[in-house]
Structure 1
Amino acid sequence: MVEWFNGLSEDRILLKVDFSDLVIDENSHLAFVYCAVTFAAHLEESDEKIRQMTNRITYCLKKVNESWFIAHEHSSLPINIETGKGIFNLK
């Protein structure tokens, strides 16, 4: 993922981020948040999408003294069950 973001340092590349399928499940002490996040690189002048990837993001938050803190974070690339390979263009 680091290499993908580093590649955006090319001239005139815009990053567009879209959150989808957001789910929040909470009680008075713990909360779980998960969603799909799509990162898409677009050429600035034409808005042409040149590459994208979608990750699943999960956060577990814990309430301490009336403030929420991230206790656990996980990010993963969805994989194709048949091939075992990552799905970069899921949307």
Structure 2
Amino acid sequence: MTIDNDFRPHTESGPRRTIDKVVEALRARDLEALRQLYTTDVVSFDVEPPLVHAGIAAKLENWAKVFQFFATVDYEIRDLTFTVDGNVAFGHAFARLHGTLHNGEAAQGMWVRVTYGMRRTGDTWLIAHDQVSVPFDITTGKGVVDLEP
């Protein structure tokens, strides 16, 4: 019997492949492809209000806003790391959403911290939770958005 290394309990390849597909779907501006990468009950703590975006419709609404804002989209991930055990995985990385605005102006975006919680169903890894954050200056209470990894 041959074991597919991509689905051994402690491998990062499955969750990493899902994040790669998120990047591809964002660059393609493809909401339906994104829908396939999240659980229907995904909980997202994104950088914009409200405090919680619950369910796939709310998550896709956030991505739809990105597509309304940008004419072209790029999404960059750095230092992605996962810990995998059986059918669950959690990971963290730095991410930057940037691209070209509809007026042709380049928007460099900002680096954020992102945390992923994933569940595996069969051979598919889906994002069940994500949290995006920026550090803040405790003396001013404002986000610090000019840091780079």
Shift of 1:54: 1.6
Residue 34 of structure 1 aligns with an amino acid whose one-letter code is: H
Cα distance change, pair 89–16 in 1 and its aligned pair in 2 (3 A): farther
Distance 2:90 2:126 in 1: 12
2:146 aligned with 1:89 = yes
Which residue does 1:54 correspond to in 2?
A: 111
Mapping for residues 1-91 of structure 1, pairs under 5 Å:
5=66, 6-8=68-70, 15-41=73-99, 51-91=108-148
Residue 67 of structure 1 aligns with an amino acid whose one-letter code is: T
For 1:31-64, what per-residue CA distance to the aligned partner results, in whole angstroms no more than 9, with x for missing partners? 0121111234569xxxx96543122221111122
Larger % of helix: which?
2
Q: Percent identity?
A: 27
Structure 2 residue ranges without an equivalent (≥5): 1-47, 49-61
Structure 1 residue ranges without an equivalent (≥5): none
Q: Indicate the RMSD between aligned Cα atoms, in angstroms.
A: 3.1
How many correspondences in the alignment? Answer: 84
Distance 2:97 2:122 in 1: 35
Cα distance change, pair 80–65 in 1 and its aligned pair in 2 (3 A): same
Give the secondary-structure state (helix, strand or coil) at the position aligned to 2:109.
strand
Cα distance change, pair 27–51 in 1 and its aligned pair in 2 (3 A): same
Cα distance change, pair 14–68 in 1 and its aligned pair in 2 (3 A): closer
